[in-house]
Amino acid sequence: MVSNTANAPRSGFHYFAQGWKLVTLPGIRRFVIVPLVLNILLMGGAFWWLFTRLDAWIPALMTHVPDWLQWLSYLLWPLAVISIVLVFGYFFSTIANWIAAPFNGLLAEQLEARLTGATPPDTGVLGIAKDIPRIMKREWQKLAWYLPRAAVLLVLYFIPGIGQTVAPVLWFLFSAWMLAIQYCDYPFDNHKVPFRDMRQALRARKTLNMQFGTVVSLFTLIPFLNLFIMPVAVCGATAMWVDAYRMKHAQWK
C-alpha cells in the first residue's frame, strides 16, 4: 500500500476510518500490539472503576444545579455524565499515551514507510532507546501546553449554570483539538518538526483536524471500542500526515 503524497487530504472522518483498516495491515500488526495492550490495561481498568462510582458522583454533581435550572435536569444529567467521562477518559488516555509514546512513535514511523514505499529507519531496541529522551521531552511540551488551558475550563465547572451547560461543550471541543494534537504529533515528532510549528500546521487545516479529534473523542465514550482507540488514532493521524503534511515537513531522523 503506497500513498500518493500529492493527493488532496480528505476529511478527518475518513482518516479515522482508515485507521481501523491500517492497524490490520500485515507487517504493521506487530507494532500495534504494545500500544493496544497498554491502552486495554489502563483504559479498561480506569473505566471499570469509573462506572462503579458514577452512581454516587452524578447526584452529588447535580446538587450544584441552581433552582432556576432544575426544570432542565433531564438534559443536565446526561451532560454531567458525558463531562465526567470526557475528563476522566482524557486524563487516563494521557497517561496511556505517555507510557506508550515510544511505541506509538515507532508505529507511526513504520506505517509512514509502508504508505510511502520508503525504507524505515532502524527500529532495533537501541534505536528506540536513544529516542526516548526526545520523545519524553515532547510529551512534557504537550502537557505544559495542555494544563493551563484545561485548568481554566475545569474552573468553569464550579460556576452554577455555566458548569452544567456551557462547560461540557467547551471541554468536548477542547478535548477534540487536544486529541488531534496528541496523535498527529507522532509523525511530526518523528521528523523533528518543532512543537510550535506542528501546532501552526494543524491550525492551518483546523477543520480537518477538528473532525479527526471529534470522532476520536466520541469513540472514547463508547465502552469496549475505546480500548482500541490509541493505535487506530495513531494510524489515522499518520495517514493524514502523509497526505496533508509530509511533502512540506518530512525529513527522516
Residue 70 pLDDT: 58
Query: Using N-to-C axis directions, what is the helix angle for 195-204 and 206-220, rounded to 10°?
Result: 100
Pairwise CA distance, residues 219 & 206, whole Å:
20
Residue 44 pLDDT: 76
Instruction: Decide if 117 contacts 2 (C-beta within 8 A).
Output: yes
Name residues whose C-beta falls within 8 Å of residue 56's C-beta, 6 or more positions apart in sequence. none
Residue 6 pLDDT: 47
Q: What is the DSSP string of 83-137?
A: HHHHHHHHHHHHHHHHHHHHHHHHHHHHHHHHHHTPPPPP-SHHHHHHHHHHHHH
Q: Which candidate, 242, 243, 244, 216, places its Cα nearest to that of 231?
A: 216
Low-confidence spans in the chain with pLDDT less than 70: 1-8, 57-77, 79-80, 83, 89, 120-128, 164, 251-253
Pairwise CA distance, residues 120 & 106, whole Å:
10
Q: Where are the domains of the chain?
A: 15-64+72-245
Is residue 65 helix, strand or coil? Answer: coil
Question: Alpha helix locations (H) across the chain?
Answer: 12-22, 29-62, 73-116, 125-156, 162-190, 195-204, 206-220, 229-244, 246-249
Number of Cβ atoms within 10 Å of the Cβ of 229 = 26
Nine cell digits for residue 135 = 520523545
Gyration radius of the chain's alpha carbons: 19
Residue 201 pLDDT: 96
Torsion angle of C-alpha atoms 172, 174, 179, 180, degrees rounded to 10: 120
Pairwise CA distance, residues 113 & 116, whole Å:
5
Residue 68 pLDDT: 60
Residue 24 pLDDT: 92
Residue 210 pLDDT: 97
Distance of CA 228 to the CA centre of its chain: 12
Q: What is the DSSP letter of 7?
A: S
